Structure 1
Amino acid sequence: MSILLQVVDTTMHTAQTAQQTVAKISLWGLLGKGGVLMYPLYFLLILAIFMFFERFIAIRKASRIDANFMHMIRDNILSNNISSAKSLARNTDSPVARIIEKGLRRVGKPIDVIEKSMESVGRLELYKMEKNLNILSLIAGIAPMFGFLGTIVGMIELFFEITSTHTFELDTIAGGIYVKMITSGTGLIIGLIAYIMHNYLTTQVDKTANEMEVASTEFIDILQEPTK
């Protein structure tokens, strides 16, 4: 009976030791085994996060505008108080206000001239909001490629080592393969994160562009209303 208890204790101790060993294989530990090409991937991840928050803050700032802005512009125009409308638009920091200000400067000229001048400002404001979004798109494309490159380089090194040492142990081969595939997994994850960030920001830009278009159309309609 005592021998049986000793066997059970030994088995439980071995299982606990193995469990502790498995628990020590953390995510950071795995990432640290990825090799030299993990550093470019880390850089791409940091760059993607930085660009996302920089563009997010800029786009969010651009999309903010007082809900009564166009109402005040309309009241000033219909009251033939163009100078007050210009002052209001000039002191409001938003793409919509800059587009309206450009239109106010062209008041008195044909409608098509006013529309074209406002469209040119709108394109410029849209370009400002989309600035550096292509970097996120680039990261989404090249991060998986860096990951695959790291895996290929690692596999070449592994097979070269096997050829040189003539070692065909399964543990060595399997361990080498899973380590080399870390870069592929990391690259795919970073690429996916950058892709989601890019799509989200593009959606926010589209919403702001739609607000600009609506405000421009409303402004043209106001100009065609009879003044008081």
Structure 2
Amino acid sequence: MAGGWPMIPLLVLSALALAIIVERAWALRRATVLPPGLGKEVRTWAAGGKLAAGHIDSLRATSPLGELLAAALDVRHRPRDQVRERIEDVGRHLVHRMERFLNTLGTIAAAGPLLGLFGTVVGMIQMFFGILDTGIGDVNLLAGGIGKALVSTAAGLVVAIPALMAHRWFRGRIAEYIVDMESEAIQLLDAIELPPASAEVAPGAHGISPPVSAS
């Protein structure tokens, strides 16, 4: 109410920014993106030579890490440089998916101060037009008008600062995830290149279905 109608878009942006922050914080939990122990489990059964198509499809559906490892297994018989290219291609798609809504969050962080400044300018214009009509007579009224105009600027900063911090934090977290996922993929390639183990591999605990043996 104190900031006038320019506060309406700022309130809309604040609600949108909060929704994005909550959604991305839930979607980018480490246990969801990189399930603990999944890389080691995949390396174990892959080194044992038990690589069935259904097993790889189950791996792909578990998490972004599982999708990256499954992409490497899909082309495991190709030269190592081609496998690395596939890992990089899938990694770019995963980054794009994990950065969903982050461009919108960055736009809110940039637009918040501008909308706040716009509200301040509108308030100052209205105040000066009032001065033209009634004169400066009351200094307290003038000070109150300036304070009312600055409410929009303060509101814009309140919206922009958390949005900017969350945007940078999510970007850094995604970059960290990608480095860890690439490391897991390289370790998987090293495990595949080893001679297959003779021992049977026990089913995993991450929702990966064991391969079905032919009867």
Instruction: Give TM class, smaller chain.
Output: 0.7 to 0.9
Give the length in aligned residue pairs.
Answer: 195
Identify unmatched segments of 5+ residues in structure 1: 1-31
Which secondary structure does the structure 2 equivalent of 1:123 belong to?
helix
1:180 is the counterpart of 2:149 = yes
| 1:65 partner letter | P
Which secondary structure does the structure 1 equivalent of 2:11 belong to?
helix
Give the 3 Å change call, closer, same or farther, for CA 64–224 of structure 1 in structure 2.
closer
1:161 is the counterpart of 2:124 = no
CA offset digits 1:66-119 (Å, max 9, x no partner): 31x22222222222111285255235x211111111111112111111111121
> Alignment RMSD, CA only?
1.7
Distance 1:47 1:36 in 2: 18
1:152 is the counterpart of 2:121 = yes
| 2:107 partner letter | L
1:103 is the counterpart of 2:83 = no
Query: Percent of aligned positions with the same letter in both sequences?
Result: 28
1:113 is the counterpart of 2:82 = yes
| 1:182 partner letter | V
User: Given the alignment, which residue of 49, 62, 66 partners 2:36?
Assistant: 66
Distance 2:32 2:169 in 1: 16
| 2:132 partner letter | T
1:221 is the counterpart of 2:187 = no
Which secondary structure does the structure 1 equivalent of 2:146 belong to?
helix
Distance 1:192 1:121 in 2: 33
| 1:46 partner letter | A
1:139 is the counterpart of 2:108 = yes
Structure with the larger helix share: 1
| 1:89 partner letter | L
Which residue number in structure 2 is paired with residue 86 of structure 1? 56
| 1:155 partner letter | M
Which residue number in structure 1 is paired with residue 96 of structure 2? 127
Contact 1:41 1:146 in 2 (8 A): yes
Contact 1:96 1:211 in 2 (8 A): no
Contact 1:62 1:208 in 2 (8 A): no
Which secondary structure does the structure 1 equivalent of 2:77 belong to?
coil
Contact 1:96 1:212 in 2 (8 A): yes
State the 1:57 CA deviation: 1.3
